[in-house]
Amino acid sequence: MMTKLSVNINKLATLRNARGGNVPDLLKAASDIESFGGQGITIHPRPDERHIRYQDARDLKNVVQTEYNIEGNPIKYFMNLVLAIRPTQVTLVPDKIGVLTSDAGWDTIKHKSFLTEIIQEFKRNDIRTSIFVDPVLTMIEGAAAVGTDRVELYTEDFAVGFAKGNQTAVAPYTACAIRAHELGMGVNAGHDLSLDNIAYFKNNVPHLAEVSIGHALISEAIYQGLETVVKQYLQKLK
């Protein structure tokens, strides 16, 4: 199956915010990424708005023509924002306040009641749901129990292991993807995926519907150009 590429544009917003103003233009960048073949746009607004601002989330709704994915911790303001925008997908991430970047998946067993309630609310509004999870079979089974449409596998452990030459680091992701598919859930993945490791991950993780890539892709684009890098990812995901 073809795995869709959703480009996380948080880092472009970080660059814009460093100088104020509107350079780079986030809305134009999103449109350009789609014109280069990108099949989705991902954003992850945080309460301090250090990169994506809440107004960006609203403005992008009128620009994104492919799939629009909003990630975040389902605190009240985030919930209200997503319900007002109604993107294609909401990805629930258990971010702590002030965290630099997402660093853990949900404990889907401990937070079963909370996640079930949140997911039901999004589903009532026709928003596809995904839960950020570690590659642990019990967490996958817990995700199925709360009724999510998809899981997003947290891929940092794979990326670190692969960079050290440990190709078996992909094994837990393979097992979790198979189990998620058996339980009727779609499989997404993200965090520290790059041009160096994406093809190996894709080739060894079945049923992979979508990857969300931001930091590495934008960093690679500094050297090679955004259009070139987007097209390289698309080729590797075939």
Please give the pLDDT value at position 101.
Answer: 56
**Superfamily of 4-236 according to CATH:** Aldolase class I (3.20.20.70)
- Marked catalytic residue, from 34, 44, 152, 220: 44
Please give the pLDDT value at position 52.
Answer: 96
**Dihedral of the CA atoms 162, 164, 168, 170 (nearest 10)?**
-20
Report if pTM > 0.85: yes
Question: What is the per-residue pLDDT across 68-103, written as a single tens digit (0 to 9) for each?
Answer: 999 999 999 999 999 999 999 999 999 765 555 555
Please give the pLDDT value at position 96.
Answer: 60
Please give the pLDDT value at position 145.
Answer: 98
Query: From its phi and psi, is residue 98 left (phi > 0), alpha (psi between -120 and 50) or beta?
Result: left
Q: Are strands 128-133 and 150-154 parallel, antiparallel or unpaired?
A: parallel
191 is a catalytic site residue: yes
Please give the pLDDT value at position 103.
Answer: 58
- Marked catalytic residue, from 34, 51, 67, 71: 71
- Marked catalytic residue, from 34, 152, 191, 210: 191
Please give the pLDDT value at position 1.
Answer: 74
Q: Residue 157's closest CA among 181, 114, 190, 205?
A: 190
Domain range annotation of the chain: 4-236
How far is 96 from 46, CA to CA, in rounded Å? 10
Please give the pLDDT value at position 104.
Answer: 76
What is the number of H-type helices and E-type strands within the chain? 11, 8
71 is a catalytic site residue: yes
Contact (Cβ atoms closer than 8 angstroms) between residue 151 and residue 208: no
44 is a catalytic site residue: yes
Which mean pLDDT values do the consecutive 10-residue runs of the chain (238 residues) have?
A: 94 96 97 98 93 97 98 95 98 74 81 97 97 97 98 97 97 98 98 97 98 97 97 96
How far is 178 from 185, CA to CA, in rounded Å? 10
